[in-house]
Structure 1
Amino acid sequence: MTQIIKEKKTLKQALLNKRMLICILIGFSSGLPLYLLIQFVPLWLREHGVDLTTIGLFGIVLFPYTWKFLWSPIMDRYVPPFLGRRRGWMLITQISLIVLMGILAMFNPAKDIAAIAVIVGFIAFFSASQDIVIDAYRRELLPDEELGAGTGFSIQAYRYSSFIPSGIGFIVADFMGWQAAHWFVSIFMLVGIITTLFIDETSKAGDEPQSIREAVVEPFKEFFNRDGYRSAIMILLFMLLYKLGDNMATALETPFFSDMGFSALEIGTIAKISKTVSAAVGTIIGGIIMIKLGINRSLWIFGIFQMISILGYLALALVGNNAVMLAVATSLEYLGVGLGSVALIAYMSRSTNKHFTATQFALFSSLVSIPRTFVGAASGYTIEHIGYAQFFVVCFLCAIPGMLMLFKIAPWNSKKESTENQSAQQTTAE
């Protein structure tokens, strides 16, 4: 009985604490500039008569999100003269973002498209840089048994930040004009700035690498020497494969829905609502479940569900135009997306060394984005040659290698993880 009460208390402590609130606030700050770039700016440009080709080219300036590992060693190596290594860099990036987002309002897309492209590029750079330091801070802030919950809350806050630029921001633009809308959106970066000023620093003085060479070489050297090159390569390969089937299944889902005969209205309402709600449920519930299951077992259970959920799209391909089946299939798929994502990110966080958190996590997050970059072209080619139903069978089969790697990467009964979790829970209870 005493053990049950202790476990319940530990679960409550793991969810209702200052660390979870911090994860929510920094997650919001991390997502806001990205959604400004991918949702707010395109409509702003289009409303001012910019052609679609030019708007499409603006996607190129988002490259910092993929290549952020290139300058992450600088943020690991150098400590700003204020607030510490993590909070100092957070404040620098956040102030840069609020200033740049405000300056963007002063330009006219019909006349200043080149200047706008430059500013948008800088926003993308500082946004990706903020992500580097926030990911590192979150890893250092959370004990291992809270990585799932903290990551889940952070992901949801990241997603919900989109309601500011692409929801309320559009309403403000309609009533007060685009300049006011720009300033309105930029003001919400104060959430991150205020949070940064009041939270505690997680990085201790002297933890940082003592040279640029050490900051660049040591994170890779430490990772590959930790358990040997073979283990390191297995971990990287697992990160690439764990969500491969999932990424393939969702890569061209909108054309798939259209080809099944669903209207734009049905896709925009039934599919969108089902996806949004299910992904939210998956990340939050998944994070909570991980407190008790641990990361290893969560990777197994969530991975199996993620793989099976692909079959919902197979069923939709066989049934065809059926609104109920559309809702069921998208709900299952994105519940799997949410569960699998929170487990993988928690695993990536655990796989970092706290001396090189920024560099190693930036490398991992860039690595897992590779499949999403290339599966679209491969998926389209496959669908054209074998059809949708067979394609989703292929997606299901492509999820199996990642699951099989769990026997080596994250054994179900890992004594090491059990020992770490028990130690962390005792520390939390104390």
Structure 2
Amino acid sequence: MLTKLRPYLDRRVMLMLALGFSCGLPFLLVAGTFSARLATAEIDIKAIGLFAYLLLPYSLKFLWAPIVDAIDLPFLSRRLGRRRSWMVASQVCVALALLAMAAADPISSLPLLGLAAFLMAFSAATQDIVIDAWRIESTPVERQGLMLAAYQLGYRLALITAGAGALILVSELAGPDAAKEAMSASWKVAYLVMAALMLVGITASLLAPAPPEAAPAAGKPREPFHFGRAIVAPLADLYRRQGPRLIAVLALVAFYRLPDFVSGVMANPFYIKMGYTLPQIAAVSKLYGIWVGMLGAFVGGWAIIRYGLYPVLIAGAIAGAASNLAFSWLAMGPPEVWRLTVAISVENFSGTFAGTALMAYMSSLTGLGFAATQYALLSSLYALPGKLVSGLSGFMVAAWGFPVFFAATAAVGLPVVILAILFGRGEAEKEAGPGSDAGAPDAVSPPRPA
């Protein structure tokens, strides 16, 4: 019995739980929770939509990942090693940026708040890069599944903390009257608490064992780092295997989650405009909704094993887009909690189901020797168009209203369904056939939020 439990007692698994928490904590503080803070300060809905561009570092992190992979930090790297030094440095930067966000007031210092939020997002994206590298290098292949499970659990706990936890804290501190001054002070306290919670990740990084440093083969000098080659070679390999259809395949990856990304920015402002209270939003969207999302991810993984990737990819494209109609329905009725629960259930389940299908499809596109780099490029690509377009979501809502806006985002998914039907059958599934377990290891892991 003790032998069977030994992998679960590995201290690296517990450290991975803490590091997953550290990765998940910043995300909502520059996304959904941040938009709620701006909405309670009565910032213009168009400006709130533009702040969606703060998430761009999460989509562009592949651009500086080769630098993080190859460059030693002065002073820290000699004492902690390359991976842990980058981990600690990025986490400290996240904490400092959160302190700056706590100090900046949305009404009087909105540009400063935006700058601090951007620096936080950049530092958080860098943290993601190096923690993924540490996980891969410090743990054998047979235990990667366990490490990823611990990471996902920590990440989801952080989403609850930065989502529901922050909203409940603000509501309790502001009191029943929720005057503008009290609300502003409450948000400052909430962000100070979140900055302090980054100590969880910093402590885990300091306690983490240093992975073995990569070394060249015996008698072979280390090849000089070339930034351009690190980006071009994986793309050339993709084109060699996919041929001219690569353009359509990349379009499928890029636009698959577009309806969800565009509508997601307006979710919290929508709930507040509808008349839902912060505790109601926290309980339904940030607590209940996260576990419904986890269920959707695991059902997506099971469906891929049972039915194959191709039909699940098509089903995910349909469900991910059509789920936005639940918000159109919600916008046309009174602010009742049961209606919010139904809409959140449909959207979160469908979104993570579709996300799991997309992760499996991207995995099937990678080639031998380029899997890590190609997957990083593809995972950045799938979020980029949505983040570029989502910045205009506030203008769309101002022009059309919420019911038409959510219906329009659902309609955006129609071309994606066509692309999935025509180009969704990946190489791995062609070889293995429907119903096989090709791609299953990647599919069963719940996707990260974008």
State the TM-score, normalized to the length of structure 1.
Answer: 0.67
Matched, 1:127 2:124: yes
Matched, 1:368 2:382: yes
Matched, 1:189 2:198: yes
Q: Which amino acid counterpart does residue 358 of structure 2 have in structure 1? A: L
2:352 aligns with: 338
1:264 aligns with: 275
Within a 5 Å distance, the mapping from 1:142-157 to structure 2 comes to: 149=149, 152-153=152-153, 155-157=155-157
Within a 5 Å distance, the mapping from 1:18-417 to structure 2 comes to: 21-38=14-31, 63-80=56-73, 81=77, 82-102=79-99, 119-138=116-135, 149=149, 152-153=152-153, 155-163=155-163, 165-168=166-169, 182-201=191-210, 204-206=213-215, 210-213=223-226, 215-225=227-237, 228=241, 230=243, 233=247, 235-247=249-261, 263-265=274-276, 269=280, 273=284, 277-283=288-294, 286-287=297-298, 290=301, 297=308, 300-301=311-312, 304-305=315-316, 307-308=318-319, 310-311=321-322, 314=325, 321=333, 327-345=341-359, 348=362, 360=374, 362-376=376-390, 380=396, 391=408, 394-395=411-412, 397-404=414-421, 405-408=423-426, 411=429, 414=432
Deviates more, 1:104-113 or 1:156-165: 104-113
Shift of 1:161: 3.7
Deviates more, 1:295-304 or 1:79-88: 295-304
Aligned residue pairs total: 407
Distance 1:271 1:202, change over 3 A: same
Any conservation in 2 of the 1:251–1:375 contact (CA below 8 Å)?
no
Instruction: State how far apart, in whole Å, the 2-side matches of 1:264 and 1:38 are.
Output: 20
Cα RMSD (Å): 5.5
Q: Which amino acid counterpart does residue 121 of structure 2 have in structure 1? A: A
Instruction: State how far apart, in whole Å, the 1-side matches of 2:116 and 2:32 are.
Output: 16
Gaps of 5+ in 2: 175-181, 442-450
Instruction: State how far apart, in whole Å, the 2-side matches of 1:134 and 1:88 are.
Output: 11
Shift of 1:329: 4.1
Instruction: State how far apart, in whole Å, the 2-side matches of 1:33 and 1:87 are.
Output: 19
TM-superposition CA deviations, 1:194-219 (whole Å, max 9, x none): 22233344564227984341x44234
Gaps of 5+ in 1: 1-8, 423-430
Instruction: State how far apart, in whole Å, the 2-side matches of 1:304 and 1:297 are.
Output: 11
Shift of 1:191: 0.9
Helix, strand or coil at the partner of 1:73: helix
Any conservation in 1 of the 2:20–2:152 contact (CA below 8 Å)?
no
Q: Which amino acid counterpart does residue 281 of structure 1 have in structure 2? A: V
Q: Which amino acid counterpart does residue 414 of structure 1 have in structure 2? A: A
Identical amino acids, percent of aligned pairs: 23
Shift of 1:51: 6.8
Q: Which amino acid counterpart does residue 264 of structure 1 have in structure 2? A: G
